[in-house]
């Protein structure tokens, strides 16, 4: 070695140590992961709980590793259990999160549903901040627990879920406020406001709540009237609207949609027109037997078998064989079993037994007319610069200005141009959308019957 | 102990077959070390003392090469995880961050090395210009350098799309639409790159293939030729006049007898022409050791960057929700700034003129003046023109990067304007 080489030694030493140190630092940073702390904690707890040598050996064998649910059908990988290692262990019930048991997961097993389908957040992440979604560039943080029932509405119908009363309440507010008069949801509704199919995935609860109370604050220039409802109702509405995520469901999840419970059963019972042949509480048809006390005559297994193939159980039965899914059959059966309770019967909608006016009222609600014309058609919704006192007109006196045919034509064709109060100002934002092709003729008849019934008593109906 | 083991290994048949020469102990072996090694023979056995001086090149070209090597290594490792499909690409990034061992560090190193490579290639080009090193006989090597610069941009740009996040998606959308402004062929060109009219699956796979196969392959070949020509053109450019004369040298350094090997004979300004060969030192160890130290320093800087700063990753690409403003990668923001004034001038004329001017430069500026000298007083016109162009490019890039907010309106970098998102969800 010649002398000039020596001067390199300190440089090689210094840079060698620096690079080596940096590699070690990078490795340490990579190896230190939050979830390992919690899994070690879990193993430690298990070891402390173990009372026999065999249990101790089992506990010692628990691996510290990434735990995840891979759910290709739901397009997600949930690694939440890397920290929440005890969610499936009931003996951790009520303990401190993250090492706590998750109650009520029997109906939604983790290996089929994972976590984020209900809770949101970032399933692939393995740090607390990132997984809970409270980081930059992650739009869907974990759902606040007060809105958790909205998750049920992603798959189930809002009125079907017995454990989600707020979802049903929100649905009710949504209908009463007449949102779909202007907004389209799942293909039905007006075109004045934007479609709502994915609004729950794109907006935060705070945004929605503000939007309901005062639309113009978050959407300047919005024509939408504020929704007048109690704080609790608006909260429920927010919760319900959050369930509009538009996530596509694969076949398995669609088949699980109907909850086998009396609520879904009743919905199916009404939808399928069972009362056309059967009667309950004296209402309905008489082609088939009355169903009031069907639970006393038959056991559940008989009812289920009868749904599957009526003629096999009752030879010569006139009842058609419906293609109910397993879940639907169970739902209908549970509903039939609940019929002994007379309270249920009172709520039943019986076709034919309801007056056209009553049905028209339902149509008025169904198509969201209340959104602009007000609840019970009293009007009062502001529509700046419209000639009708800058408001959408109420419909109480509609029978005085229109014949039946004119009214029908008006509903079917709508009115795009609203006469201006001040011709120099911009046109009124709200207008009457055409309902042709959207509303059925029967519904239209009922709606007109309802509208004509609104004239206060003592006033002349016809000209 | 280690030293003895190493010596023993080199003494074996296997050891000799691999290394041929042991650790050199005399000048013959030092020369052989450089000549007989594949990696080292890119350089002559002896180099001019000037080469060792840091201020001669500032190590810029070498650092660019190192960054390319690091990018190849980290890129290869990343390829084990990456799937070039719109359904998986973004999820791969998340997996690299959250579950792959050292995945985030790997990606960070790759990302920062890519940005640094663009920067260092530009700096290297400036060095070559300011020292007049592109003059005869090195004109074509300058042209190769310009091609390598464009390749570097293309490599960085194609890699930019791969994470498939909002940043990637919209940067590529903006970048390719700049290409679309070219007359006649613009739209066809854009269609060819994207495999469609918008960035989608086919654009992703095209960019991926370009990024991991085609462009690196071309780059490796051009780099090889680039380095080969440096060697064949007589090493680094240096002034025509001998820097040291026989009188400057001490008697002890004077040669008594001297024969020259083939490796010391090359065209032009060679060690053998017009200058005393004793102004030279052996490549091993003087140059090689310095090169290794520079490599270590480069790796160290990259590791620091990779440990403390994560590569950006925004939301998953959303074709219906453009950010405001949507910006191209930073090295194209000067162009985007120009495009904001005039699509035709900024997107077509200026870049075309720039590339043409760069390629033509060594053939226009032909006087052999100021070669190998920083900011030579004999090249005032050339220096001034280049400096003005460079400053304009830098200023435009800085404006485009830091001073442009929503709707490309002016903003101060420390007072960013936030636009609340309104309208339909």
Over residues B82-141, the pLDDT tens digits come to 999 999 999 999 999 999 999 999 999 999 999 999 999 999 999 999 999 998 889 999
Instruction: Kindly write down the DSSP assignment for every residue of B29-68, as one continuous string.
Output: HHHHHHHH-TTGGGS-SEEEHHHH-HHHHTTHHHHHHHHH
List CB contacts (< 8 A) between A122 and chain B: 94
A427 and A385 in contact (C-beta within 8 Å)? Answer: yes
| Three-class DSSP category at B282 | strand
B102/A79 touch (CB, cutoff 8 Å), yes or no: no
**Cis amide bond preceding A445, omega within 30:** no
Q: Which residue of A has its CA nearest to B298?
A: A19
Which residue of chain B has the CA closest to A135?
A: B314
A381-407 average pLDDT score: 83
Nearest CA in chain B to A245: B425
Going A242 to A246 to A252 to A255, the CA torsion angle's sign is positive
Residue A190: predicted pLDDT: 82
Contact A432, A410 (CB under 8 A): yes
Mutate to test the interface with B, among A13, A21, A30 (most CBs of B within 10 A): A30
Judged by a CB distance cut-off of 8 A, whether residue A278 touches chain B is no
Give the length of chain A.
Answer: 463
DSSP per-residue codes, A20-75: HHHHHHHHHHHH--HHHHHHHHHHHHHHHH--SHHHHHHHHT-------EEEGGGT
For the ranges A241-255, A266-280, B143-157, the one whose mean pLDDT is highest? B143-157
Shortest Cα distance, chain A CAs vs residue B366, angstroms: 40
Q: Is B300 on the interface with A (CB under 8 A)?
A: yes
Contact A26 B300 (CB under 8 A): no
- Closest Cβ–Cβ partner in A16, A19, A218 for B303: A19
Nearest CA in chain A to B293: A12
Q: What is the pLDDT of residues A287-305, one digit of tens each?
A: 888 888 888 888 888 988 8
Mean pLDDT of chain A: 86
Tell whether B299 is within 8 A of chain A (Cβ): yes
From chain B, pick out residues whose CB is under 8 angstroms from the CB of A22. Answer: 300, 303-304, 307
Q: Could you say which residues from 100 to 119 on chain B have a Cβ atom under 8 Å away from some Cβ of chain A?
A: 101-102, 104-105
DSSP string, A240-264: HHHT-------HHHHHT-S-SSHHH
Q: Is there a contact between B315 and A139 if contact means CB atoms under 8 Å apart?
A: yes
Compute CA distances B385 → B119, B130, B132, B332, B380, whole Å.
Answer: 21, 11, 14, 21, 9
Nearest to A26 among B306, B315, B424 (CB): B306
Instruction: Write out the two tokens for B176.
Output: 């390719």
Q: Report the distance separating Cα B169 and Cα B162, nearest Å.
A: 9
Residue B300 Cα, gap to closest chain A Cα (Å): 5
Q: Which of B101, B285, B303 sits opposite A23 (nearest CB)?
A: B303
SS3 B27: helix
- Which one of A73, A124, A212, A245 makes the best mutation probe of the B interface by having the most chain B beta carbons within 10 Å? A124
**Interface residue A219 vs chain B (CB under 8 A):** yes
Q: What is the CA radius of gyration of chain B?
A: 25
Q: Is A22 on the interface with B (CB under 8 A)?
A: yes
Within 8 A of A27 by CB-CB distance, chain B residues are: 102
Strands A381-382 and A391-392 come out as antiparallel
pLDDT, tens only, A85-135 = 999 999 999 898 899 999 888 889 999 999 999 999 999 999 999 999 999
Decide if B300 and A15 are in contact by the 8 Å CB cutoff: yes
Q: Do B293 and A15 touch (CB under 8 A)?
A: yes
70-99 of B, contacting A, C-beta below 8 A:
91, 94-95, 97-99
Confidence of residue A380 (pLDDT cuts 50, 70, 90): confident
**pLDDT tens digit sequence for A314-326:** 888 888 888 888 8
Asked if B423 and A77 come within 8 Å (Cβ–Cβ), the reply is no
Total CB pairs under 8 A between chain A and B: 80
A26 touches chain B (CB under 8 A): yes
Integer CA distances (angstroms), A164 to A40, A153, A154, A173, A199, in order: 36, 9, 12, 15, 20
- Whole-number pLDDT of residue B424: 36
Q: Measured between alpha carbons, how far is B309 from B303 in angstroms, rounded to an integer?
A: 10
Contact A29 B422 (CB under 8 A): no
CB-based contacts of B26, cutoff 8 Å, min separation 6: none
> Which of B29, B99, B418 has the highest number of chain A CBs within 10 A, making it the mutation to test binding with A?
B99
Whether the ω angle into residue B137 lies within 30 degrees of 0, i.e. cis, is yes
pLDDT(A203) > 80: yes
- Give CA–CA dist B330/B174, Å, rounded: 12
Q: Which residues of B116-126 are buried (b: 16+ CB within 10 A; e: fewer)?
A: bbbbbbbbbbe
Residue in this structure with the two tokens 């083991």, named with its chain if needed: B5
At residue B369, φ and ψ (nearest 5 deg) are -125, 140
Cβ of A16 within 8 Å of Cβ of B297? The answer is no
Contact B304 A22 (CB under 8 A): yes
Residue B105 C-alpha, separation from nearest chain A C-alpha, in angstroms: 7
Question: Is A22's CB within 8 Å of B307's CB?
Answer: yes
- A residues 220..239 contacting B (CB < 8 A): 220
Alpha-carbon gap: A20 to the closest alpha carbon of chain B (Å): 9
CA neighbor of A79 nearest in space, from A13, A42, A127: A127
Tell me whether residues B314 and A137 touch, CB distance under 8 A. yes
Q: Do B105 and A219 touch (CB under 8 A)?
A: no
Joined tokens for residue A385: 């610069």
Within 8 A of A212 by CB-CB distance, chain B residues are: none
* H helix or E strand, kind and range, residue A382: strand A381-382
The mean pLDDT of A306-313, rounded to a whole number, is 88
Q: Tell me which residues of chain B have a pLDDT lower than 70.
A: 240-278, 419-425
Measure CA B197 to chain center: 31
Among B25, B94, B303, beta carbon nearest to A26: B303
Interface touch A26/B165, C-beta < 8 Å: no
* Min distance A239 CA to chain B CA atoms (Å): 17
User: Is B49 near chain A, with CB under 8 Å?
Assistant: no
Closest partner CB to A19 (pick from B102, B299, B314): B299
Smallest Cβ–Cβ distance between B422 and the set A27, A138, A219 belongs to A219
Contact of A191 with chain B, judged by CB distance below 8 Å, is answered with: no
**Cα–Cα distance between A59 and A42 in angstroms, integer?**
9
How far is Cα A363 from Cα A358, in angstroms, rounded to an integer?
Answer: 9
Q: DSSP character for A69?
A: E
Residue A326, number of CB atoms within 10 A of its CB:
13
Q: ipTM of this model?
A: 0.83
User: What confidence category does residue A342 fall into, taking pLDDT thresholds of 50, 70 and 90?
Assistant: low
Q: How far apart are CA B356 and CA B359, in angstroms?
A: 5
The answer to whether B99 contacts A66, with C-beta atoms less than 8 Å apart, is: yes
pLDDT recorded at residue A430: 83
Partners of residue B97 in chain A, C-beta under 8 Å: 125
Give the span between the Cα atoms of A244 and A186, in whole angstroms: 9
Alpha helices in A402-460 (DSSP H): 404-413, 441-452
Residue B300 with chain A: CB contacts under 8 Å: 15, 18-19, 22
Separation between Cα atoms, residue A182 and residue A189, nearest integer Å:
6
Q: Choose among B54, B92, B68: nearest CA to B302.
A: B68
| Spatial distance between the Cα atoms of B113 and B64, rounded to a whole number of angstroms | 9
Q: Is B286 helix (H, G, I), strand (E, B) or coil?
A: helix
* A139, closest residue in chain B (CA to CA): B315
Q: Does A25 touch chain B (CB under 8 A)?
A: yes
* Cβ contacts of A168 within 8 Å, gap of 6 or more: A158, A159, A161
Contact A27 B102 (CB under 8 A): yes
């Amino acid at each position: 070695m010649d002398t000039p080489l020596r001067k390199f030694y300190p440089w090689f030493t210094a840079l060698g140590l620096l690079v080596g140190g940096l590699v070690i630092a990078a490795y340490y940073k990579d190896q230190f992961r939050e979830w390992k702390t919690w899994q070690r904690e879990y193993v430690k707890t298990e070891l402390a709980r173990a009372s026999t040598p065999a249990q101790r050996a089992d506990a010692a064998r628990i691996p510290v590793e990434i735990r995840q649910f891979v759910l290709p059908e739901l397009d997600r990988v949930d690694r939440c259990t890397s920290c929440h290692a005890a969610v499936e262990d009931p003996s951790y019930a009520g303990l401190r999160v993250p090492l706590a048991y998750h109650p009520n997961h029997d109906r939604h097993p983790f290996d089929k549903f994972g976590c984020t389908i209900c809770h949101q957040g970032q399933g692939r992440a393995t740090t607390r901040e990132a997984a809970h979604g409270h980081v930059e560039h992650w739009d869907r943080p974990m759902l606040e627990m007060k809105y958790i029932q909205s998750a049920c509405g992603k798959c189930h119908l809002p009125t079907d879920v017995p454990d989600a009363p707020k979802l049903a309440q929100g649905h009710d507010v949504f209908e009463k406020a007449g949102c779909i008069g202007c907004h389209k949801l799942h293909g039905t509704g007006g075109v004045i406001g934007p479609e709502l199919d994915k609004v729950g995935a794109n907006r935060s609860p705070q945004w929605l709540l503000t939007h309901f109370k005062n639309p113009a604050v978050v959407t300047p220039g919005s024509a939408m009237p504020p929704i007048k409802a109690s704080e609790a109702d608006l909260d429920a509405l927010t919760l319900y609207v959050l369930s509009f995520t538009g996530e596509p469901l694969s076949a398995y999840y669609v088949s699980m949609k109907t909850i086998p419970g009396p609520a879904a059963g009743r919905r199916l019972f009404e939808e399928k027109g069972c009362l056309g042949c059967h009667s309950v509480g004296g209402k309905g048809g008489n082609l088939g037997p009355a169903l009031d006390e069907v639970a006393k005559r038959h056991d559940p297994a008989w009812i289920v078998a009868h749904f599957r193939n009526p003629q096999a159980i009752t030879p010569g039965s006139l009842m058609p064989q419906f293609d109910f899914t397993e879940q639907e059959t169970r739902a209908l059966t549970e509903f039939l079993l609940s019929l002994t309770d007379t309270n249920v019967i009172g709520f039943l909608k019986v076709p034919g037994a309801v007056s056209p006016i009553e049905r028209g009222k339902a149509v008025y609600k169904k198509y969201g007319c209340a959104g602009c014309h007000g609840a019970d058609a009293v009007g009062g919704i502001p529509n700046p610069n419209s000639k009708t006192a800058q408001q959408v007109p109420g419909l109480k006196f509609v029978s005085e200005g229109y014949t039946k045919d004119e009214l029908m034509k008006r509903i079917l064709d709508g009115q795009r141009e609203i006469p201006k109060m001040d011709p120099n100002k911009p046109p009124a934002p709200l207008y009457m959308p055409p309902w042709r092709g959207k509303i059925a003729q029967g519904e239209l008849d009922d709606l007109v019957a309802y509208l004509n019934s609104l004239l206060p008593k003592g006033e002349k109906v016809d000209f | 102990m280690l030293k003895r083991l190493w010596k023993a290994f080199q003494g074996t048949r296997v050891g000799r077959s691999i290394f041929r020469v042991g650790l050199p102990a005399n000048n013959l072996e030092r020369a052989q070390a450089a000549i007989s090694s594949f990696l080292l023979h890119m350089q002559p056995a002896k180099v001019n003392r000037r080469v060792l001086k840091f201020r001669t090149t500032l190590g810029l070209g070498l650092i660019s090469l190192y960054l390319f090597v690091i990018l190849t290594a980290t890129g290869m490792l990343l390829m084990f995880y990456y799937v070039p499909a719109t359904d998986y690409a973004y999820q791969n990034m998340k997996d690299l961050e959250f579950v792959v061992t050292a995945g985030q560090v790997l990606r960070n190193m790759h990302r920062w090395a890519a940005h640094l490579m663009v920067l260092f290639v530009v700096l290297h080009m400036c060095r070559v210009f300011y020292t007049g090193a592109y003059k005869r006989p090195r004109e074509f090597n300058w042209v190769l350098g310009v091609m390598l610069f464009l390749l570097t941009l293309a490599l960085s740009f194609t890699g930019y799309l791969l994470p498939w996040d909002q940043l990637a998606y919209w940067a590529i959308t903006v970048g390719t639409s700049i290409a679309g402004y070219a007359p006649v062929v613009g739209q066809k060109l854009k269609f060819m790159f994207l495999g469609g009219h918008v960035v989608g699956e086919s654009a992703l796979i095209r960019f991926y293939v370009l990024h991991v196969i085609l462009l690196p392959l071309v780059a490796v070949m051009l780099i090889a030729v680039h380095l080969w020509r440096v060697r064949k053109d007589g090493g680094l450019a240096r002034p025509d006049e001998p820097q040291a004369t026989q009188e400057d040298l001490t008697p002890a350094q004077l040669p008594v007898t001297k024969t020259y090997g083939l490796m010391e004979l090359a065209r032009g300004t060679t060690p053998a022409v017009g200058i005393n060969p004793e102004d030279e030192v052996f490549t091993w160890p003087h140059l090689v050791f310095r090169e290794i130290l520079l490599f270590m320093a480069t790796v160290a800087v990259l590791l620091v960057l990779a440990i403390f700063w994560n590569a950006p990753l925004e939301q998953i690409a959303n074709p219906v929700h453009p950010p405001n403003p949507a910006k191209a990668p930073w090295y194209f923001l000067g162009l985007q700034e120009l495009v904001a004034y005039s699509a035709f001038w900024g997107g077509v004329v200026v870049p075309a003129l720039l590339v043409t001017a760069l390629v033509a430069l060594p053939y226009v500026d032909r006087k052999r003046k100021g070669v190998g000298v920083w900011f030579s007083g004999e090249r005032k016109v050339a220096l001034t023109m280049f400096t003005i162009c460079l400053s304009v490019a830098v200023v435009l890039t800085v404006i485009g990067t830091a001073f442009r907010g929503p709707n490309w309106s002016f903003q101060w970098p420390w007072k960013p304007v936030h636009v609340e998102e309104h309208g339909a969800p």
